[in-house]
Amino acid sequence: MANCFVRGKIDLRFALAIDRSLYYPPRVRTALDIHERRPRHLQRGIGWALGRRIQTELGTVWFILNLQSDVASSASSQIRGHFRGWQRVLMSSVFDEARKASADLIALPTAHCLARSSMWSDGMPQMMFHIYDDTSKFFGLKRLRMRQSVDIETVLFGDSTPASTFWMGAVNSLCRKYPAPFATWL
């Protein structure tokens, strides 16, 4: 990720990328040409997920701590509309990778927990509630409180942000219910 320092303990990195060899409607392709000339976190990125693999009393948990997208905040309604649902495609693929790695659970922080992190000291955009809470609800993840806290801060120079409330789901169940679609991995 360009111009972004992430903590060394981040050991899960996934991305969904724009494939220029695929067909895009003319208006979307034109908007992509403009979008790709602007600064962004990830070259050709639609969305990305960063996280940590942690052994807990519940088993091996993949904590997806950062679920973001440059296209979701694009000025172009053509781009936003075309890639609507990117987080569902990406998370389905993360579930599949977690299954292959024998992880037991997937966990995402609640938007309320994220709002306390140093990244959002000026107030968290409403879109983040959609990305984290609504995506978790779509997949049927349950809001659970753990006995131990996990530092959800992913930015290298950010303050530690302990959280114990997460959206969680069993990997095998998620993979059966939501099989992974085709995705391009960077």
Output the six-digit token pair for 45.
């990125």
Q: How far apart are CA 28 and CA 147, in angstroms?
A: 46
In a domain, 1, yes or no: no
The residue behind tokens 């003319």 is 26
How many domains are there within the chain?
1
What Å distances lie between residue 99 and 58, 103, 146, CA to CA? 16, 6, 22
118: CATH: 3.40.630
Mean of the per-residue pLDDT values for the chain?
81
What tokens appear for 2 in the block?
Answer: 């360009």
Residues 157, 54: Cα–Cα separation, whole Å: 21
As beta bridge partners, residue 34 has: none
> What range does the domain containing 44 cover?
12-177
Domain annotation covers residue 182: no
Model pLDDT, residue 5 = 42
Question: Is 110 domain-assigned?
Answer: yes
Is the residue at 2 inside a domain?
Answer: no
66 within a domain of the structure (yes/no): yes
pLDDT at residue 105 in the model: 97
Q: How confident is the model at residue 86 (pLDDT cuts 50, 70, 90)?
A: confident
- The stretch 101-118 carries a mean pLDDT of 87
Q: Which amino acid is at 148?
A: Q
pLDDT at 117: 67
The confidence score (pLDDT) of residue 1 equals 37
6: pLDDT confidence band, cut at 50, 70 and 90? very low
**Percent of the chain having pLDDT more than 70?**
81
Q: What is the pLDDT of residues 125-148, one digit of tens each?
A: 777 788 889 999 999 999 999 888
6 in a structural domain: no
CB 165 within 8 A of CB 113: yes
* Residues 23-76: tens digit of each pLDDT: 888 998 888 877 777 766 666 678 889 999 999 888 999 999 988 877 776 667
What Å distances lie between residue 126 and 71, 120, 133, 149, CA to CA? 16, 11, 11, 25
List all residues 6 or more positions away from 148 whose beta carbon is below 8 Å from its beta carbon.
56, 57, 164
Residue 124 lies in a domain: yes
Position 183 in a domain? no
Summarize the confidence of residues 164-174 as an average pLDDT.
Answer: 95
